Amino acid sequence: MSTQLAAQINSLLAAFILLTAFAMLAQRKKLAILHLFAWQGLFLSVSTAIVGFVAKSHHLYISSLLTLTLKVVVLPYILHVLIRKLKIRKEIEAVVNVPTTMLIGIALVIFSYHLTAPIRELSTLVTRSTLAVALATVMLGLLMMITRRHAVTQIIGFLAMENGLFFAATSATYGMPLVVELGVALDILIAAFIFGIFFFHINTTFDSLDVDQMARLKEED
């Protein structure tokens, strides 16, 4: 595989990652958002493997495998079990309506391209064109956390934001040291179990995971 072809494939995968981020913003069903998150993890895993091949960085193959295992299989399975156990069936309520959220998302993408323009001009890496997408993915994940009222959806937004951070590290410096990536992967896995325990306790106590309802209950106390 030539470097030019690898850069083109990586740019295509970056477009898919950004597309799934926008799809998660527009989607109102929790299971659909979870499936989109798994697809985003798959695209990120393949992109990492391609960068590892071009850069001859063998630790990125391990990172790709970790991403595939955690973001495509383990975390979606844990969250799917949580949604099923908590019997969450209603559609997601958003603080801001979908069209406005999408417009804000487009503005964040434009801002990301403007912010990373000097870096793209100076960088010689094959991943320089995807840095703006990585930053936009981080911001879209943060936007998802801000605009959604349900705790489970906010956690998926947090994980999508982490996807963007990992993609940014791969785009900017061909990835973080392996020991850091392993530590982050372990932290995310432990956090998923902790979130699950908290969700069960919160749902039992308040009979809801809507953060607005919990805030109103706190104000009444």
Q: How far apart are CA 209 and CA 186, in angstroms?
A: 26
Output the pTM of the full model.
0.80
3-state SS string for the chain: CCHHHHHHHHHHHHHHHHHHHHHHHHCCCHHHHHHHHHHHHHHHHHHHHHHHHHHCCCHHHHHHHHHHHHHHHHHHHHHHHHHHHCCCCCCCCECCCHHHHHHHHHHHHHHHHHHHHHHHHHCCCCCHHHHHHHHHHHHHHHHHHHHECEHHHHHHHHHHHHHHHHHHHHHHHCCCCHHHHHHHHHHHHHHHHHHHHHHHHHHHHHCCCEHHHHHHHHHHC
**Residue pointed to by tokens 């417009």:** 103
Mean pLDDT of the chain: 79
Residue 103's pLDDT is 93
For residue range 118-165, what is the model confidence (pLDDT) as tens digits? 877 776 676 777 888 999 999 999 999 888 877 778 888 888 888 888
Residue 217's pLDDT is 46
For residue range 62-82, what is the model confidence (pLDDT) as tens digits? 888 888 988 899 888 888 887
Residue 1's pLDDT is 61
Higher-scoring residue by pLDDT: 113, 150:
113
